Structure 1
């Protein structure tokens, strides 16, 4: 699975180093329901395995409020008015880790009934999608935070993991499960110490099937601090059905100092050979802290690229539209985006977006502040600010 760089890729990398640039879980000031309406919400606290609520400051809804890019039907929230199963029976105490894990394993459209106030559910085990599920939709109604408690990954789907059910020998290219997370916060996920093939994805790890994120927030997630091709403090994706893109819509990764993700590469997102469409979203204060880049320099463990987004592979694309990516940093290259298409067929497009103050401590592509790009031609930038 891991993409390797040959001598030619390394040579291109060196040529391309054209410039160097030198708590409490939140409540949304408005939480989006499945019907697309917003309701007031207070901040929440948690105890291990259960949910509790407390009043505190209000925070803005996830995503870029000024984002005006049209969202295609395939990227929109799923209608959850007729849910398959409900976590909780109307009280915070009924919304337990065990209930979440069981609901995800059972699949279907999952909603929450945890009382009128925001809640945090701290998981005592990672919720795992069974590969026999056709669809798994998790909708928190803008009031639910799923927390890893700083100890574990929150959500896992892997169509090539036989422990989750074996459905086809073509596990990397199957249409199901379809995983959707919407109107949720994922906080304090931790995927450190995982094997390389299952590493990264402090909040969510996905391999195979189909996946999208809508109206959600990712806070303080982490994965391993070193490694040349490992990343995604919030989300790590390997493979999607028919190479369809992962959609990230109206969502926030970080959003304030101290709230961003931290990993060797990709402080928010990481992937190999996977396309992304990021619409009307915000990525700030995420950090790639590895050292030695990819391939790792002699005497280093590797990593440190893609402060917000790390993408590697052959033919894939990234489209960033209506979004803000700022104040992210990379110890090596691409303070905002690290993009390497090994066979130079991949494309990067930035539309109606703002990328600023993304620090690349080691290298970036000349003329594209915060970006390191090796792909087809040059990045396409339309009606956007890069500085």
Structure 2
């Protein structure tokens, strides 16, 4: 199956979605089996283990396998995906990093080193030895808004960052004063520009995080820009209930000039959250290319707004998007065997003012059950146009 949809969303404030969700019966596309009550809707010092740039273990090209030696982790993404990747969505050249985590052995590749490197900003690579390594984070790595303007993490296909099932792994928020305000309009500023590439994020957990509405078990981003290339997300978590909370792997709010988050050649598996077992956003556009989503679950109950007697949630087994004017483009991607307790086993898309569009092209959607409601198999859509 191929589906094409385009949408755009703008936030007037700092991430609040005050617009009431439309009732399913208002959908511009006929709704199948939707219940009438559902209305879808000073920087840290650099660690001693972060050295000046020696020989980087990273990819200078956008190829998902270019940096992967014989011991590298499996390449993520859909090898059969045929989407053309625009220049803006390709991997960053990291052959001349600003800082390198590690000195050639796993011993130097620590949580503290990662936290310090991210706070310092710039292009960051890893030199942890020739074999794959897992770094269990003892604290969340936070991007400083006054450093950069680019923050790039390149794992060279060998590095896994783990939340240990206890914490979020990576955080960027232009509206968080603790990370330094840099403009008077935090919800729409062009930097920092965060790129993660050739990395694995596993067992991130944002459960109990309430700032900005929570969500984002592996990565939370508000403001600036985000790009994800050649990366894998496995077994990430966020809160199990909440009407609009989501993103077991990634939660995004407020991207500069409403430009899209790029997700390219990446894989998302085993995520569980109230909504959006992989991705979730409010008022944000996405371009998802040549990627794979399998085994993700939206486990909340009661939809959005929450039905009486329920905590809300349960929509968008793989992808949950909400807002006004925004676009979602999914091309060359496999979305298979995801599940939603409420609506949209694969994708939940609600444009409150009906200006949003969704495009799913040359992609496979298969076996994505929705226990509550959907407008097409695996999809719940309210917006200007759904193409497939």
Q: Verify same fold: TM over 0.5.
A: yes
Give the unaligned 5+ runs of structure 2: 1-14, 35-56
CA shift for structure 1 position 60: 3.3
Matched, 1:129 2:143: yes
Map of 2:214 onto structure 1: 199
Using the size of structure 2 for normalisation, the TM-score is 0.87
Which residue pairs with 2:205 in the alignment? Answer: 190
Structure 1 match to 2:343: 333
- Per the TM alignment, residue 2 of structure 1 is displaced from its structure 2 partner at its CA by 3.3
Structure 1: how far apart are the matches of 2:58 and 2:97? 16
Contact kept, 8 Å, 1:317 with 1:346, in 2: the verdict is yes
Q: 2:182 aligns with which of 167, 182, 193?
A: 167
In structure 2, the partner of 1:75 is 89
Separation (CA, whole Å) in 2 of partners of 1:140 and 1:109: 11
How far the C-alpha of 1:4 sits from its partner, in A, is 4.2
Q: Secondary structure at the match of 1:360?
A: coil
- Name which of 85, 102, 111 aligns with 1:97: 111
Deviations 1:259-299 (A, max 9, x none): x1000000000000000000000001000000000000000
C-alpha distance 69-8 of structure 1, shift in aligned 2 (>3 A):
closer
**Structure 2: how far apart are the matches of 1:7 and 1:285?**
27
Contact 2:28–2:382 at 8 Å: present in 1 too? no
> Who is 1:257 aligned against?
none
TM-score (norm 1): 0.87
Report SS of the residue matched to 1:172.
Answer: coil
Residue 15 of structure 1: how far off its partner (Å): 9.1
1:370 to 351, 360, 378: 378
Distance 1:72 1:299 in 2: 46
| Separation in 1, partners of 2:264, 2:296 | 18
Aligned to 2:320, the other structure's residue is in SS state: strand
Shift of 1:194: 1.1
Match runs of 1:214-233 below 5 Å = 214-233=229-248
Aligned match for 2:78, one of 56, 60, 64: 64
Does residue 312 of the first structure (1) align with residue 322 of the second (2)? Answer: yes
Of the candidates 266, 286, 291, which is equivalent to residue 281 of structure 1? 291
Aligned to 1:212: 227
1:15 and 1:318 mapped to 2: Cα distance? 17
Query: What RMSD, in angstroms, separates the aligned Cα atoms of the two structures?
Result: 1.9
Residue 169 (structure 1) shift: 1.5
Q: Corresponding residue for 2:45?
A: none
- Relative distance call for 1:354 and 1:7 in structure 2 (3 A) is closer
Contact 2:213 2:245 in 1 (8 A): no
8 Å CA contact 1:41–1:117 kept in 2: the answer is no
d(CA) in 1 for partners of 2:160, 2:29 = 44
Distance 1:361 1:4, change over 3 A: farther
Residue 18 of structure 1 deviates from its aligned partner by 1.5
CA distance in 2, matches of 1:82, 1:250: 23
Residue 11 to residue 71, structure 1, CA distance change in 2 (3 Å): same
